[in-house]
Amino acid sequence: MSYPGYPPTGYPAFPGYPPAGQESSFPPPGQYSYPSGFPPVGGGAYPPTPSSGYPGAGGYPGAGGYPGAGGYPAPGGYPSAPQPGGAPSYPGGQGFGAPPSGAGFSGYPQAPSQSYGGGPSQVPLPGGFPGGPMPSQYPGGQSPYPSQPASMTQGTQGTIQPAANFDAMRDAEILRKAMKGFGTDEQAIVDVVANRSNDQRQKIKAAFKTMYGKDLIKDLKSELRGNMEELILALFMPPTYYDAWSLQNAMKGVGTQERVLIEILCTRTNQEIREIVRCYQSEFGRDLEKDIRSDTSGHFERLLVSMCQGNRDENQNVNHQLAQEDAQRLYQAGEGKLGTDESCFNMILATRSFPQLKATMEAYSRMANRDLLSSVGREFSGSVESGLKTILQCALNRPAFFAERLYYSMKGAGTDDSTLVRIVVTRSEIDLVQIKQMFSQMYQKTLSTRIASDTSGDYRRLLLAIVGQ
């Protein structure tokens, strides 16, 4: 069955932001370091960025992640190709349909050990597989996962690290010279932007205004066009703002980009989600939960409302008795009855920690002799199916989930550039190294090779500089 609206068709044009009539209200005094509209409308200037960057003191535990971003564990690939105008289908074939043979997790690459909720230098989940070493065999007598490199069990790592000997004023001067006079030195812009952390980019933006009395983002917009402009603007947005902005654009105007809502709300940590909710309110003057309720419906609406509470259990210890009980509940709510008790699935998948869900999936596979992902595919359809599967995929292997999203953004005719930009930018300081490893393992081609064949010009050069070889 196909997911409506996946892959997303991209963000609405940047100039449509902020909403008409709200230009003067962004941001409220003392809030985010962003202008009265992003991109600026009518030449509005950005206020100075606090020296601590964004987010504030209560931000995320990461060291080199989005400024302080929370790290994510890991995810993986569905082999079926997307239908025209829709998502990859998940019938009963390979991938997320029936298991290839016997039980197992439908060919989804699994992380034997992964950490949850830290920054780039996370502590791996002890013991690898919940409760100890990963079993050598699954129900059905086989291990359906490709092996994961041992390096991926040691936390996660971004491709962008904070630059040593960083000098915001020197970088601001380099960018000024690159845009001054006839033509633009795009390579100089790429060299600076791709080799600075987001926090450092915020400092460059503030230094530029102090030194020249001009707005760096407005100047960059006047020099750049198309995908290169979208990529540069995304890189200069504070990460929480970028997530909030992406959600707002996914629900703005006619239609809703459900895949964007799922990708953000079903994969972020509690702290990140709470920051996104606050940012959404302060920057756009809107309540995220109310917007979700007005743009979605039914069980999908309930799942997203659950997600935007940011209340998932984040205890890293696994309760194996609870995993067994939850597996039984899920079976009785789905495969074991006529019809489906959707609220049971919502309750368990929205509240349990990711390590706990991983143990529940293993218990379900042993008990039902089939995997939970394929059961969700049989019991649900459309966006709610996609959302529930995203949660389970992140419990198994988060980098593989994003690797698969990148693959489908470039598969077939044309490229879903907004998805490509969003994932490369948001994961660049968290786990893009692991995403690259999973991409190569799942598709027998490097991510940089695929990007090089699907993009061109300065846009390609900057993407490759961020992703690395």
Q: Determine the pLDDT at residue 203.
A: 98
Q: How confident is the model at residue 459 (pLDDT cuts 50, 70, 90)?
A: very high
Give the Å distances, CA to CA, from 98 to 107, 370, 391, 397, 459.
Answer: 10, 8, 19, 19, 40
Q: Determine the pLDDT at residue 59.
A: 38
Segment 250-309, tens digit of pLDDT: 998 777 899 999 999 999 999 999 999 999 999 999 999 999 999 999 999 999 999 999
Q: Determine the pLDDT at residue 412.
A: 85
Contacts of 162 (CB under 8 A, 6+ apart): 64, 196, 197, 199, 200
Segment 314-334, tens digit of pLDDT: 999 999 999 999 999 999 999
Mean local confidence (pLDDT), 234-259: 94
Rounded to whole angstroms, the Cα distance separating 56 from 104 reads 43
Max mean pLDDT among 97-111, 146-160, 263-277, 331-345 falls in: 263-277
Q: How confident is the model at residue 215 (pLDDT cuts 50, 70, 90)?
A: very high
Q: Is the pLDDT of residue 119 over 70?
A: no
Q: How confident is the model at residue 107 (pLDDT cuts 50, 70, 90)?
A: low
Q: How confident is the model at residue 396 (pLDDT cuts 50, 70, 90)?
A: very high
Segment 65-96, tens digit of pLDDT: 333 333 433 333 343 333 334 333 333 333 33
Q: Determine the pLDDT at residue 413.
A: 84
Q: Is the pLDDT of residue 114 over 50?
A: yes
Give the Å distances, CA to CA, from 181 to 45, 177, 355.
Answer: 22, 8, 55
Specify the higher pLDDT residue, 55 or 427: 427
Rounded to whole angstroms, the Cα distance separating 180 from 357 reads 54
**Cβ atoms of 107 and 146 closer than 8 Å:** no
Q: What is the DSSP string of 287-337?
A: -HHHHHHHH--HHHHHHHHHHTT----------HHHHHHHHHHHHHHTTTS
Segment 401-446, tens digit of pLDDT: 999 999 999 998 889 999 999 999 999 999 999 999 999 999 999 9
Rounded to whole angstroms, the Cα distance separating 374 from 385 reads 10
Measuring CA to CA, which residue among 351, 356, 438, 444 is closest to residue 403?
Answer: 438
User: Whose structure tokens read 């190709």?
Assistant: 81
User: For the ranges 132-146, 273-287, 360-374, which has the lowest average pLDDT?
Assistant: 132-146
Q: Is the pLDDT of residue 310 over 90?
A: yes
Contacts of 426 (CB under 8 A, 6+ apart): 66, 239, 242, 243
Q: How confident is the model at residue 110 (pLDDT cuts 50, 70, 90)?
A: low
Q: Determine the pLDDT at residue 54.
A: 39
Q: Determine the pLDDT at residue 185.
A: 86
Rounded to whole angstroms, the Cα distance separating 208 from 205 reads 5
Q: Is the pLDDT of residue 39 over 70?
A: no
How high is the mean pLDDT of the chain?
77
Query: 65 — alpha (psi -120 to 50), left (phi > 0) or beta?
Result: beta
Q: Is the pLDDT of residue 24 over 50?
A: no
Q: Is the pLDDT of residue 64 over 70?
A: no
Mean local confidence (pLDDT), 231-253: 95
Q: Which two tokens stand for residue 419?
A: 């998805």
